[in-house]
């Protein structure tokens, strides 16, 4: 056993010296391979970081959200519906929510306006999201604004501004605080205000709300309770939190997968390059292999040599590519791929992503990059190992 390990160490040692002797050619392959791995890894890291962030954010969302539908479109839901829900066992609380989109014609931006009532479950999460631990404003007309919205409207704390009501009268608002940058993924375009102000801005009467947040005692019962609600209130759409989470996952996964398919072209091009480089044996390389074989290296030993060379090249490229990808995502905010994953919004949050590089992610990246490289180079490696020993004889 020791001899086998020692033998492989010897061959690895020779492989390293062989790679170094042809460092220009091998360095080129490492650089190109690392670039391909960088692209694939960046996508994968961004996707998993975004879905993980979304998951964390959604953890605070209500278990069930109830919306009223009319002719396939959402309408304000009567608060009387909440009374009907009290007969369902397992519902902990029903909280009306008022929110909507305000379209800014000048800037072409949509802001999300959320009405916050004291004591509602989201209030604590929202107040934690405010910068500098400013207490949550309770005065009428006082709003907390997300960073992207503040930048678009040129707002800072203390500044006054106005939005149009549906009847085109102006509603004055005052900026009380700005949301922290860490929460940008969800608060970037958010304007939070007292619920009464939100009703006033959108013209939603006190008897209605945009939707109802339903909090359930036992998460395992979500689907059952959702079914019961659907039966009692057939004119509503019942959204469960697991479904929203899965939808985010699918959307990010789809976009990432689509981009990965495009990257397959880059991978294929690299595979052809790798095949070409591995197949092209220079006269010096042929001579070297023939000498090794005459000196007692078996074909399997030369195959082992080429295998280790491939592993080292792939390993170096993988380390380089994934490190650069991590830097690109964490420090560069995935600048290259943001448009693909973030959509068309005018207001885009700055991404502070912290992707986790787990064994799972590493295996996935290895399977998409390193394995195809090894597969492409195995036949050229065998051809190299088949150089006849007798070609070393003669001048």
Partner 1 sequence: MFLNAWSLALTLTSLAGIVLGAVACRTAVRVLRHWNPASDSERQIRLEGEIWLSSTLVAYGLGFQIVSLVLFVLAADEFCKVIVGAMCATGALLANGFGLPALLVKMAGVFLYGFWLVLHQLDIRSESYPLVRLKYLYLLTLYPLMATDFALQTLYIAGLKPDIITSCCAVVFGAATADGANLLNIASAEFLLPLHYLTMALLAGVGGVLLRRRQRWLQALYAAGWAWFFGLALVAITMAISSYIYAMPYHHCPFCILKPEYHSIGFAIYGALIVGAFLGISAALVEPCRRRVGLEGVVAIYQRRAVQLSLGLLFLFALLTSYHYLRYMLLGGEG
Partner 2 sequence: MLIELDAVTKIYNQGQINEVQALTEVSLAIAPQTMVCLKGPSGSGKSTLLSIIGCIFAPTSGRATIAGKPLARLPDRFLTVHRRATIGFIFQRFNILPALSVADNITLPLLPLGVSPKARRERAGVLMDQLAIRHREHFPAGQISGGELQRVAIARALINDPPIILADEPTAHLDSRLSRDFMQIMADLKKAGKTIVITSHDPLVTEHAAIDRVIGVKDGRIDVS
> Which residues of the chain form contacts with partner 2 (CB under 8 A)?
2-7, 10-11, 13-14, 17, 21, 287-288, 291-301, 389-390, 392-395
| Residue 293 touches which member of partner 1, partner 2, none, C-beta under 5-8 Å by kind | partner 2
Q: Residue 299, interface with partner 1 (CB under 8 A)? A: yes
Q: Are 28 and 278 in contact (CB under 8 A)?
A: no
Query: Closest separation between CB of residue 365 and partner 1, Å?
Result: 8
239 touches partner 1 by CB under 8 A: yes
Buried b (16+ CB within 10 A) or exposed e, 55-94: eebeeebbbbbbbbeeeeeeebbbeebbeebeebeebeeb
Q: Which does 246 bind (CB under 5 to 8 A by kind): partner 1, partner 2, none?
A: partner 1
Q: Kindly tell me which of 15 and 76 has the beta carbon lying closer to partner 2.
A: 15
Q: Pick one of 171, 208, 237, 277: the residue that binds partner 1 (CB under 8 A).
A: 237
> Least distance from C-beta 288 to partner 2, angstroms?
6
Helix (H) or strand (E) holding 169: none
CB of 381 to partner 1, least distance (A): 8
Can you read off the two tokens belonging to residue 178?
A: 């700005």
Site for partner 1 contains 59 (CB under 8 A): no
CB atoms within 10 A of CB 46: 28
Q: With binding defined as CB under 8 A, does residue 89 bind partner 1?
A: no
Shortest Å, Cβ 33 to partner 2 = 24
Decide: is 261 part of the binding site for partner 1 (CB under 8 A). Answer: yes
Q: How far apart are CA 116 and CA 95, in angstroms?
A: 11
Binding of residue 273 to partner 1 (CB under 8 A) = no
Contact between 279 and partner 1 by CB under 8 A: the answer reads no
- Residue 163 has φ and ψ, to the nearest 5°, of -120, 160
Nearer to partner 2, 188 or 305 (CB): 305
Structure tokens at 300: 């399997």
Beta bridge partners of 109: 104
230 binds partner 1 (CB under 8 A): yes
The single residue among 227, 327, 339, 343 that binds partner 1, judged by CB under 8 A, is 227
Query: Contacts with partner 1 in 180-219 (CB under 8 A)?
Result: none
Told to check if 362 binds partner 1 by CB under 8 A, we report no
From the CB of 227, what's the least distance to partner 1, in Å? 6
Q: Is 262 in the site for partner 1 (CB under 8 A)?
A: no
For 9-31, give one letter per residue: b (16+ CB within 10 A) or e: eebbebbeebbeeeeeebeebbe
Query: Strand (E) positions, 270-348?
Result: none
Which of the ranges 8-16, 127-135, 256-264, 275-283 carries the binding residues for partner 1, by CB under 8 A?
256-264
Token pair 């704390």 in the structure block, residue? 157
Least separation in angstroms between residue 381's CB and partner 2 is 16
- Alpha carbons 299 and 388: distance in angstroms, whole number: 10
72 binds partner 1 per the rule CB under 8 A: yes
**113, 100 in Cβ contact below 8 A?**
yes
What's the rounded Cα separation, in Å, for the pair 326 and 50?
14
**Which value, to the nearest 10 degrees, does the dihedral of the CA atoms of residues 283, 284, 288, 290 take?**
20
State the distance between the two ends of the chain, measured CA to CA, in whole angstroms: 40
Task: Kindly state the smallest distance separating residue 389's Cβ from partner 1, in Å.
Answer: 12
Strand, helix or coil for residue 223: helix
Distance of alpha carbon 142 from alpha carbon 36, whole angstroms: 50
270 binds, among partner 1, partner 2, none (CB under 5 to 8 A by kind): none
Nearest-angstrom CA–CA distance, 309 and 18: 8
- Taking the complex as a whole, the smallest distance from the CB of residue 339 to partner 2 amounts, in Å, to 48
| Residues at the interface with partner 1 (CB under 8 A) | 43-44, 47, 69, 72, 223, 226-227, 230, 237-240, 243-247, 249-251, 253-254, 256-258, 260-261, 264, 299-300, 303, 358-360, 363-364, 366-368, 371-372, 374-375, 378-379, 381-382, 385-386
């Amino acid at each position: 056993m020791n001899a086998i390990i020692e033998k492989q160490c010897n061959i690895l040692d020779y492989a390293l010296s062989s790679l170094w002797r042809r460092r220009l050619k091998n360095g080129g392959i490492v650089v190109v391979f690392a670039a391909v791995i960088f692209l694939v890894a960046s996508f994968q890291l961004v996707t998993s970081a975004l879905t993980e962030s979304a998951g964390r954010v959604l953890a605070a969302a209500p278990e069930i959200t109830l919306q009223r539908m009319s002719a396939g479109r959402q309408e304000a839901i009567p608060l009387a519906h909440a009374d009907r829900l009290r007969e369902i066992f397992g519902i902990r609380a029903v909280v009306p929510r008022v929110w909507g989109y305000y379209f800014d014609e000048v800037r072409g931006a949509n802001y999300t306006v959320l009405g916050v009532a004291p004591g509602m479950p989201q209030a604590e999460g929202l107040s934690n999201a405010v910068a500098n631990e400013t207490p949550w404003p309770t005065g009428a007309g006082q709003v907390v604004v997300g960073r992207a919205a503040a930048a678009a409207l040129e707002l800072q704390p203390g500044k006054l501004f106005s939005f149009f009501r549906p009847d085109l009268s102006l509603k004055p608002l005052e900026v009380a605080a700005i949301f922290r940058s860490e929460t940008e993924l969800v608060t970037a375009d958010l304007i939070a205000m007292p619920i009464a102000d939100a009703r006033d801005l959108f013209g939603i009467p006190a008897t209605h709300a945009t939707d109802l947040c339903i909090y359930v005692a036992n998460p395992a019962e979500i689907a059952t309770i959702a079914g019961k609600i659907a039966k009692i209130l057939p004119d509503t759409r019942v959204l469960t939190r697991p479904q929203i989470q899965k939808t985010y996952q699918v959307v990010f996964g789809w976009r990432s997968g689509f981009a990965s398919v495009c990257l397959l072209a880059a991978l294929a091009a690299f595979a052809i390059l790798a095949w070409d480089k591995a197949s092209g044996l220079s006269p010096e390389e042929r001579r070297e292999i023939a000498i090794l074989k005459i000196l007692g290296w078996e074909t399997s030993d030369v195959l082992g040599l080429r295998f280790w060379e491939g592993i080292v090249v792939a390993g170096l490229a993988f380390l380089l590519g994934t490190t650069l990808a991590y830097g690109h995502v964490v420090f560069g905010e995935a600048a290259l791929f943001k448009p693909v994953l973030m959509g068309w919004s005018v207001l885009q949050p700055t991404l502070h992503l912290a992707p986790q590089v787990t064994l799972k992610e590493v295996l996935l990246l290895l399977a998409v990059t390193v394995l195809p490289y090894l597969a492409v180079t195995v036949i050229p490696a065998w051809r190299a190992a088949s150089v006849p020993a007798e070609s070393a004889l003669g001048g």
